[in-house]
Amino acid sequence: MTVAAARAKASLPGRCIVLADAEILVRHAAAWLLNRVLSTPGRIAVCVAGGETPRPVYELLAHSPYRDCFPWDQVHWFWGDERCVPPDHPRSNFAMVRAALLDHVPVPSTKIHPIPANQQPERAAAMYESELKRFYGANALAPDRPLFTATLLGVGTNGHTASLFPGSGALRESTHWAAAVPEATPEPRVTLTYPALDSSAAVAFLASGAAKRPILDRLARGDDLPVAHIHPVGSTTWLLDRDAAP
């Protein structure tokens, strides 16, 4: 196969939108989330990612015009993963999303569902799973009734997503909705598992910058990476800037 043919064949799993730069990517991601939320009737659950890429998306949502048209009282907020640190710790994903977004918008506190990660990861994972099941209203996920309306995810340079790291036992979790990642450094983590993340009506992966291109190249070639095993019951959209695009 020629190089050109290999390139033509390689593609990311899902719809791929390449934006000119990181700023346009952020605007596109905010619009994507707003559209998903506005086009979904009834109770809405958004699952957010940690990391640096989505932070400006959350900041944008906290400002006009997003702030003014987002149905804050209908949306429940969940986290895809968390570090086992106090909720105000600089590495807490909850603290990041709160500082960037939730502290600045009229979201009822009953609709904010952080991972209770300030404890042993196994216990935190079990508690979060109970909370997710209570919210969902059942102990089993039905493919025609996704847990999450919209899920934001990132990808690490080693192919992880959420806190599903290469070689982790959490990758093999096929029953539980949340799992401990005791081997994570500098502190253990809790992550949603494939079954929970797959129970999404729409997933958007955000990746920006040249450092992400090698791993996205590998993903496009079909390498066996943690991120490659996310298969939502709904749609998958990749939002990339030009530097990251394979």
Residues that bind ligand 6PG (CB under 6 A): 49-53, 80-81, 93, 154-156, 160-162
- Smallest gap from residue 65 Cβ to ligand 6PG (A): 25
Collapse the DSSP code of 238 into the 3-class scheme (helix H, G, I; strand E, B; otherwise coil) and give the result. strand
Comparing CB distances to ligand 6PG, the nearer of 7 and 55 is: 55
Residue 77, class by beta-carbon neighbours within 10 Å (0-12 exposed, 13-18 middle, 19+ buried)?
buried
- Smallest gap from residue 27 Cβ to ligand 6PG (A): 16
**Pick from 106, 62, 105, 97: which is nearest to 78 by CA?**
97
Tell me how far apart the alpha carbons of residues 129 and 179 are, in angstroms, rounded to a whole number. 9
Ramachandran sector of residue 214 (left: φ over 0; alpha: ψ -120 to 50; beta: rest): alpha
- Smallest gap from residue 139 Cβ to ligand 6PG (A): 26
b/e burial code for range 66-75 (CB count within 10 A of at least 16 → b):
beeebeeebb
Q: Contact 178/164 with Cβ under 8 angstroms?
A: no
The CA–CA distances, whole Å, from 211 to 12, 32, 246 equal 17, 24, 11
How is residue 64 written in tokens? Answer: 């006009």
- Smallest gap from residue 165 Cβ to ligand 6PG (A): 9
Comparing CB distances to ligand 6PG, the nearer of 162 and 196 is: 162
Comparing CB distances to ligand 6PG, the nearer of 117 and 201 is: 117
**In the structure, how many helices (H) and strands (E) does the chain have?**
8, 10
Handedness of CA 133, 122, 166, 51 (dihedral sign): positive
Tell me how far apart the alpha carbons of residues 227 and 223 are, in angstroms, rounded to a whole number. 10
